[in-house]
Structure 1
């Protein structure tokens, strides 16, 4: 038996259009109903958008692996994210995506280099210094700490800069605004709200938030872009500056690099921060799992800095993280679009119609998982069908930074669990919301107690 972390109770039946409009403006999770968790394929109809939600693993494989070219990324998703991500690998399709992926690939080979590992470890070490200054037994809002440390990791590994507190707050506040307003903008588009009214209701906030983030990144990138021939850094930005296209021998333009770095910042810090916060939450509820993870860490490395070999040896802690990813996948849905008419089970998918593959629903489907809402790290001791467990996506578009994120997460968790025991604040319940990522809208309040003898 595992513990059962909180998840939003779905509505008994499907809400009407007006109710859906107000529910989903805050979080798409608020619009789910009981059948959402049991169906294989469902249809969602709104005035300006009609989509299929696909939970059947066989159909998921068709969409994301076998017939991936027939299901490109959603044009609406690209439109929504463009103020921040521009024309980046996250939303592009076809030959543009292939070329971008190939140009980015060498950068992520850096994740196997000790230099990047060391930069991650330094960010984790600074995080621990911040935690040690907090009195033992204090209630800590860990979500903001996880958001800051993962953003710091990205700044160090991509641009060889520490993230200072003031700049960090500006960027992270802007990103929170961007997330909130993107969901609202999407719902307004689904319900055909006129563009002039959408601007009055907050559309400009989303665009301005994207500008704040990109201008901060541009300040760091531009001097190095202009002097790239003399750039001696060993970071991901340096790799991007020197990478050239195999066919044209051309390098990324400044705007292209800015778009890709913005994408790496979004995907690299936000998703990992979400996953780390939910992992700490699950461990604060499951004392046995927490103790088992702690014992493993101590047996591998009782003190001093963790090595790459240490991190790879932490099998149980890795399974803990994987199980938190199952319960709270950072990206709760993947949006695609049909290039032609086709059948999905008993439904006819029209050309141009939206398709959603939702890890949030697939990971909690009771036909695919025993006690799906329970936290059970042991599930991951045996191989799991890829179409049933896809926190990083699936197929050729699987997250390019998966190895980077796993390495970073285990470093951060190992540092925290070695020194602190975790207890959820009494009577605290996270407010689970689905926006661009799955987060807790009211943070995560955990009592952190210094372990004896450490």
Structure 2
């Protein structure tokens, strides 16, 4: 059976010149890729600001991300790009600072255990269905807006023990969209050794968007932080409470108010923006694959039927799990991980200078022609086939790998399966005629022109 192949930026036949690469990457880093990007083991480009190596060799990928991770910390360029939004958070820091933050935050993630978080996820999913019930079935609907809302609502309930209100959700959606669109325009001049090309207008707009998001989060944190300093008792058992109780094991000092904002901003980005991206693409892929959608619906009805979903049901919805896992393969929310070597070293016979940028791109690895059969096709069944096990084991890493693997992976997977299960039970997900989403690679992989679908309520609902 032929499978649906979603559109993606057509790679150039040959490697582009530096000037052409700069021009194309202004919109999306994926626009600078060429055909060999999907077959090579390592590519390189030497720019005025940095020597950049794109790594697809599995052995070397594991070395950079796992076995020698300390020798390949996160790129300073990534920190530079995200600092206005995330500050000195665990997502951008390295070395002792990162280790201190990770040690302090580990206990807090117990608050995000899937069984503890499930009732909050379910409440947000039910609120999502109420909003979608009001959508006109006859008109295309940009599902990206709702996926951003429901995932932000879930992370709000998990961090703050409160649901997110509609106006705040739209403010955050708009601010993130602006921040993402400006990110490549601000990062590219640094790659080309021309920071002077950064237009003050772009920087001002980027900082404004970051302040909007951080301001909303800060307004939620400040009153509870002040109450905590006064020793006032709280009934909330959420991530923020755990963060405020965390202590540095060496100094016994807690997070400051500013540090709390940084870490919550990081969790908010990692906990809603990435999930929103993947769930948006999953909705589109289901709309374009009615046979896959029907089989998943039948399994959901067999497992859950008309009753309220329970946490134990999720593991039995294997088709939904595979739909989401395949979505993460085709559209990994974080399309690349940027590292840099702390000292000169050899990689695949090349001598890398100190502080070269080494890029591991799930976008390329998970579509690599060496590892995957029909790499551009949406085929959830590949996660059940014996012949695909090697590719899944070695060339599938949507949540990264090694010491910096995503701590929220289990949380994100359960959240996604619950949301998709609720959608499938309630609606047929249909394509919007003539609409083809255009993926762009920025901080996450989103669609430049939205993702429009139609929803038709099922008779059983």
Does the TM-score normalized on the shorter chain lie above 0.5?
yes
In the alignment, which of 404, 412, 433 is matched to residue 440 of structure 2?
A: 433
In structure 2, C-alpha distance between the alignment counterparts of 1:334 and 1:397, rounded to whole Å: 11
- Deviating above 6 A after TM superposition, structure 1's stretches of 4 or more consecutive aligned residues are none
- Of 52-61 and 234-243, deviating more is 234-243
The answer for the alignment partner of 2:150 in structure 1 is 149
Does the CA-based 8 Å contact 2:340-2:357 persist in structure 1?
yes
The answer for the alignment partner of 1:300 in structure 2 is 303
Q: How many residues align?
A: 453
In structure 1, C-alpha distance between the alignment counterparts of 2:117 and 2:201, rounded to whole Å: 42
1:185 equivalenced with 2:196 (yes/no): no
The answer for the alignment partner of 1:37 in structure 2 is 38
Shift in Å at residue 7 of structure 1? 1.6
In structure 2, C-alpha distance between the alignment counterparts of 1:138 and 1:174, rounded to whole Å: 26
1:359-374 equivalence runs, <5 A: 359-374=362-377
Deviations 1:20-57 (A, max 9, x none): 22211110011111011111000022221221000111
In structure 2, C-alpha distance between the alignment counterparts of 1:333 and 1:150, rounded to whole Å: 22
In structure 1, C-alpha distance between the alignment counterparts of 2:373 and 2:116, rounded to whole Å: 41
For residue 153 of structure 1, give the secondary structure of its aligned residue in structure 2: helix
The answer for the alignment partner of 1:329 in structure 2 is 332
In the alignment, which of 275, 278, 289 is matched to residue 272 of structure 1?
A: 275
Shift in Å at residue 278 of structure 1? 0.8
1:300-319 equivalence runs, <5 A: 300-319=303-322
In structure 2, C-alpha distance between the alignment counterparts of 1:21 and 1:321, rounded to whole Å: 33
In structure 1, C-alpha distance between the alignment counterparts of 2:76 and 2:250, rounded to whole Å: 27
Deviations 1:131-154 (A, max 9, x none): 111233432110111011111111
In structure 2, C-alpha distance between the alignment counterparts of 1:163 and 1:451, rounded to whole Å: 28
For residue 369 of structure 2, give the secondary structure of its aligned residue in structure 1: coil
1:395 equivalenced with 2:395 (yes/no): no
TM-score (norm: length of structure 2): 0.95
Does the CA-based 8 Å contact 1:179-1:435 persist in structure 2?
yes
* RMSD of Structure 2 on Structure 1 (CA): 1.4
Shift in Å at residue 215 of structure 1? 1.2
- Residues 1:377 and 1:194: Cα distance change in structure 2 (over 3 Å): closer
- Of 44-53 and 26-35, deviating more is 44-53
Mind listing any 5+ residue stretches in structure 1 that lack a counterpart? none
The answer for the alignment partner of 2:285 in structure 1 is 282
The answer for the alignment partner of 1:100 in structure 2 is 101
- Of 358-367 and 183-192, deviating more is 183-192
- Of 337-346 and 357-366, deviating more is 337-346
The answer for the alignment partner of 2:8 in structure 1 is 7
Deviations 1:415-438 (A, max 9, x none): 001111112112211111000000
Mind listing any 5+ residue stretches in structure 2 that lack a counterpart? none
- Of 255-264 and 157-166, deviating more is 157-166
For residue 44 of structure 2, give the secondary structure of its aligned residue in structure 1: strand
Deviations 1:263-290 (A, max 9, x none): 0011111100000011111111111111
In structure 2, C-alpha distance between the alignment counterparts of 1:20 and 1:175, rounded to whole Å: 25
In structure 2, C-alpha distance between the alignment counterparts of 1:283 and 1:242, rounded to whole Å: 43
- Of 330-339 and 93-102, deviating more is 93-102
- Of 351-360 and 308-317, deviating more is 308-317
- Of 266-275 and 240-249, deviating more is 240-249
Does the CA-based 8 Å contact 1:61-1:387 persist in structure 2?
no
TM-score (norm: length of structure 1): 0.97
Shift in Å at residue 115 of structure 1? 4.2
In structure 1, C-alpha distance between the alignment counterparts of 2:182 and 2:140, rounded to whole Å: 30
In the alignment, which of 405, 417, 424 is matched to residue 417 of structure 1?
A: 424
Shift in Å at residue 194 of structure 1? 4.2
- Of 67-76 and 103-112, deviating more is 103-112
